[in-house]
Structure 1
């Protein structure tokens, strides 16, 4: 089943980042986007996840063009079906790790998964303030918060940047297993070629074009 379809996207800030970019994502599919810093990878991910509006082109989520959705409909899709793992964690700093997961639990009406907490190795720090956690622990809490929502699409912007190589590979396997178990899909932005090639498809954003390399 098609989860996302983007056609002929173009976007610029001070200069044109990319133009005429098209991409689709199906259930149980993982896509990696690589490219040099400044090529527009994160911007493209923000467009696909509806955090930004493209200057040109169209994006369909679950078969419906987002341009035809009203604000309430789009908000519900973001809350219930999209999960975004940011390069910066964006955790609630005054809350404990567990309280951050509770927010996701309340908003999505999904239960916190104890197995997920165990697999991410954050059980021992669940009642610590996030400001007391290491960067790697904060990143794993942010991943747990996203997966608690049980999203249909995971958008991940350098999700393993604060993790060692072994933990990064384990987290990637966790993402893949999640997608398989929940008929979900994932779009990953990364500088790590090894992690990128764990995905089913790999694109490179270069010279304003999105090129399929795997």
Structure 2
């Protein structure tokens, strides 16, 4: 089953960023998108994850064209089926780390997994305020928050940018295992070629086109 299908996507700001972008994401699969800064990687991710509307082309999520979805249906998919991770954490600073996870728990009706907190090495600081955590700890809390939702598709924009290499490798292994075990998929945007090539497929956004290189 295709979790995500994008067909002939184009986008322009003051100038044309990219055109005729087509890709698919299947269950248990991970794909990476690389490219130079300013090539449009994050913009493309925002379109695929419904944060931006495509100016041209079609995006389907879980077999449904988002253009034909009603507002309630789209909000339901975003709430339960999509998990977004950015280099900026977007945590609630007035809350503790655990309270941030409780938000995801309430929205998704899923429980908080203690084993996940242990694996991300945040179990010891989970009661601390977000503002008391390091950047790496905040990033791992944001990753735990997304995985608590148990999404069908993970959209990740430089998710390991604030992590050391050992922790980044562990986080990526966690993502890959999650996708396989939950019939989910991941779209990763990164500048790290080594990280990208751990994914099942790799695309490069270059010269306004998306080229598959793996």
TM over 0.5: yes
Once residues 110 and 14 of structure 1 are traced to their aligned partners in structure 2, the CA distance between those partners, rounded to angstroms, is: 43
Once residues 18 and 209 of structure 1 are traced to their aligned partners in structure 2, the CA distance between those partners, rounded to angstroms, is: 6
Tell me whether 1:50 sits opposite 2:54 in the alignment.
Answer: no
Tell me whether 1:126 sits opposite 2:126 in the alignment.
Answer: yes
Shift of 1:111: 0.6
Runs of 4+ off more than 3 Å: none
Q: Which residues in structure 2 correspond to 1:189-200 (within 5 Å)?
A: 189-200=189-200
Shift of 1:62: 0.9
Q: Which runs of 5+ in 2 are unaligned?
A: none
Query: What is the SS of the residue equivalent to 2:83?
Result: strand
Q: Which runs of 5+ in 1 are unaligned?
A: none
Q: What is residue 143 of structure 2 aligned with on the other side?
A: 143
1:143-176 Cα distance to aligned partner (Å, 9 max, x none) = 0000000000000000000000111011000000
Shift of 1:12: 1.4
Q: What is residue 113 of structure 2 aligned with on the other side?
A: 113
1:78-137 Cα distance to aligned partner (Å, 9 max, x none) = 000000001210000000000000000000111111111110000011000001110000
Once residues 10 and 113 of structure 2 are traced to their aligned partners in structure 1, the CA distance between those partners, rounded to angstroms, is: 39
RMSD: 0.5
Shift of 1:15: 1.1
Q: Which residues in structure 2 correspond to 1:158-177 (within 5 Å)?
A: 158-177=158-177
Once residues 75 and 100 of structure 2 are traced to their aligned partners in structure 1, the CA distance between those partners, rounded to angstroms, is: 20
Q: What is residue 39 of structure 2 aligned with on the other side?
A: 39
1:182-211 Cα distance to aligned partner (Å, 9 max, x none) = 000000000001100000000000010000
Structure 1 length-normalised TM: 0.99
Q: What is residue 23 of structure 1 aligned with on the other side?
A: 23
